[in-house]
Amino acid sequence: MGTTASQLDKDLLSEYQELTFLTKQEILLAHKRFSELLSKDERNFENTRVSMERILTLPELKSNPFRERICHVFSTSDQKNGSLTFEDFLDLLSAFSDSATLEIKSHYAFRIFDFDDDGTLDCGDLEKLVNCLTGETDDTRLTTDEMRQLINNILEESDIDKDGTVNLSEFQHVISRSPDFVSSFKIVL
């Protein structure tokens, strides 16, 4: 199973259609864009892994503050270096597509926002999240007081069992009531 030189065969295409939320056109476009990232001789191999640096040259990911987290979350490599195969890339696009369910999106959003990979969003994760959103340089960060006030507000809204962290169920609960999430959590090639 894998990709032949420049085309996907039909069974593989319909299998991908069944296993992801992407349409046929989107899968073919993804295949084209992914092949452009590979060098000429890599294209002949099946299941080549593309390193994170090359994936991040895609314009859809280049300006995204969460680009490294996205690669880490969807990567199935053993070395945890964020490299993606074509199937990982399809999983990525499927989770970010228009027709993905809210549950899938919130699940992956949780994993992307969980910077230390411990299964919950605690104060450190939330602080890194806000800093990603506002910018990395010193003059674009919030002050410590503002950050504390903001994190308190977030925990007040989302932490139901009052343990100081947001776990997956609480996150999914708060996302289900957030009207902007579905339209903003979208990447289309």
Partner 1 sequence: METDPVFFTDRSGRITSNPLLDQLPSYQSLLYRRKSSASSNKRRNSSRGRLGSSSSGKWGMSTFTRPLEKQKSQVTEQQPIRELAKPMAEKRRDKTQRLEEAQELSNWRQWRRSSRRYLRRLKDDTQEWLSSMKLWRGDIHLIEGMFGTGILSYFSFLRFLVVLNLIIFLIKFIFVMFPIIVAPYASGNITYNLNDAGVCSVYPSSARRGLVIFHEHITDLLSGGGFLEQTYLFYGFYKVDKIHFTNVTYNLALAYLLSTIAYLSLSLIWIVKRSARGFKRNLVQDEDRFQSFCNKIFAGWDFCITNENAARLKRSSLLYELRTDLEEERIKQKIADRTRKDKCRIYLIRLILNLFVIGVLAGCFYSIYIATVFSQEAQMTKVNFIVDLIYEYLPSIVITVANFITPLLFSVIINYEDYSPAFEIRFTLMRCVFMRLTSIAVLLFSLWSQITNCEKECVCGYNHLLYSCWETRVGQEMYKLTIFDFITIVAVTIFVEFPRKLLVKHCDCGLAKWWGQQEFAIPQNVLEIVYGQTICWIGTFFCPMLPAICTIKYFFIFYIKKVSLIKNCRPATRPFRASSSNFFFLGVLLIGLALACLPVTVSVAQINCSHACGPFVNFNTSWEVLPTTVSQLPSGAQNLLFALSSEAFAVSFFVVTCLAMFYVIALAGAHKRVINQLREQLAMEGRDKRFLIQKLCQAQRLSPVRSPVSKSQPRRGSRSSPSYHTSFSSNFNEGVFLAHSPPDSSTHV
| Binding of residue 187 to partner 1 (CB under 8 A) | yes
- Among 33, 43, 49, 111, indicate the residue that binds partner 1 (CB under 8 A): 111
Which range, of 2-10, 32-40, 49-57, 86-94, touches partner 1 by CB under 8 A?
86-94
CA-to-CA distance for 129 and 132, rounded, in angstroms? 5
| Binding of residue 40 to partner 1 (CB under 8 A) | no
Residues 55-84, interacting with partner 1 (CB under 8 A): 59-60, 62-66, 74, 76
**Shortest CA distance to 34 belongs to which of 67, 6, 9, 1?**
6
**Shortest CA distance to 56 belongs to which of 40, 43, 71?**
71
CA-to-CA distance for 94 and 166, rounded, in angstroms? 25
| Binding of residue 125 to partner 1 (CB under 8 A) | no
**Which residue's CB is nearer to partner 1, number 43 or number 128?**
128
| Binding of residue 32 to partner 1 (CB under 8 A) | no
**Which residue's CB is nearer to partner 1, number 44 or number 101?**
101
Number of residues forming the site for partner 1 (CB under 8 A): 79
Report, in angstroms and rounded to the nearest whole number, the Rg of the chain calculated over CA atoms: 18
CA-to-CA distance for 49 and 38, rounded, in angstroms? 9
- Among 27, 83, 88, 115, indicate the residue that binds partner 1 (CB under 8 A): 88
| Binding of residue 28 to partner 1 (CB under 8 A) | no
CA-to-CA distance for 80 and 29, rounded, in angstroms? 27
Residues 167-186, interacting with partner 1 (CB under 8 A): 167-169, 171-172, 174-175, 177-181, 183-186
**Which residue's CB is nearer to partner 1, number 38 or number 154?**
154
Q: From the CB of residue 48, how many other CB atoms can be counted at a distance below 10 Å?
A: 20
CA-to-CA distance for 187 and 96, rounded, in angstroms? 5
